[in-house]
Amino acid sequence: MVALIMAGGAGERFGTKTPKQLTVLAGRPMLAWSAGVFARSTRVSWIVLVGPAAQERALRAVLTADADAKLHAFAAGGPTRQQSVSNGLAAVPDGTTHVLIHDAARPCVSETLCERVIDALAVSDAVVPVVPATDTLVQVRDSRVEIMVDRAAIAGVQTPQGFRHDLVMKAHREAKARGFESSDDGSLVLAMGAPVVTVPGERSNLKVTYKEDIGIAEAILQGRSIS
């Protein structure tokens, strides 16, 4: 099992000069939190870190010793997340059968959630964690509500997402050939016609997108450190 950690993204909505993945949360850079989870997992053999080539040294520097020991490769990101993931998938060790793909912007990922995704890969080739929608969702055009979406049938998708390596590689190749672009790897597999199964995600596994999310993430991480 190889874990790809996606540590790129311009972070326009974050509003700071420091790259989001290097922002300090509860005493550690954001990237270090999720890297530590994969480093401690006995079921993850290697880590492939994907990020901007210009930030390679800075990103490597925040890894703990155990995460650095598992680091197989650094893959330079591309102009889109989809291309960045493709670059990461191409950098895994020979013989890799399964991969986890995780966003460094989700620093509160738990070892329990990772185990849940890995367990599901024993019987499924594509697994995504989801949480039920709690807000009513609408489709809006020109500031007017067009459609009210039934939230009972809607869920939010998280990472890490797990895949059979050859399947997700094929999904990326086919998406590129069709000109199909998505920021979610599960959607690429689904677009190919392959089934994607879900496992329960975790509300605490939030994606840090705005500066306002920092305080929430820090509270979660500090609570774990205390316990």
- Residue range 9-38: mean pLDDT, rounded: 85
What whole-number distance in Å separates Cα of residue 70 and Cα of residue 13? 31
- The DSSP line for 31-55 is HHHHHHHHHH-TT--EEEEEE-GGG
**pTM attached to this predicted model:** 0.94
Q: Please give the tally of structural domains in the chain.
A: 1
CATH number of the domain where residue 89 is located: 3.90.550.10
When mean pLDDT is compared across 94-98, 133-137, 153-157, 180-184, the lowest value belongs to 133-137
Does pLDDT of 63 surpass 80?
A: yes
SS3 116: helix
Residue 227 pLDDT class (50, 70, 90 cuts) = very low
> Where in the sequence is the domain holding 103, given as residue range(s)?
2-130+156-226
**Residue pair 63/32 in contact by the 8 Å Cβ criterion:** yes
**Residue pair 184/156 in contact by the 8 Å Cβ criterion:** no
In a domain, 149, yes or no: no
Q: Taking CA 224 as the corner, what is the angle to CA 127 and CA 103, rounded to the nearest 5 degrees?
A: 35
In a domain, 139, yes or no: no
Q: What is the pLDDT of residue 11?
A: 59
State the DSSP H helix or E strand holding residue 224, giving kind and residue range, or none if neither.
Answer: helix 213-226
Q: What is the pLDDT of residue 214?
A: 94
Residue 18 pLDDT class (50, 70, 90 cuts) = confident
In a domain, 151, yes or no: no
In a domain, 42, yes or no: yes
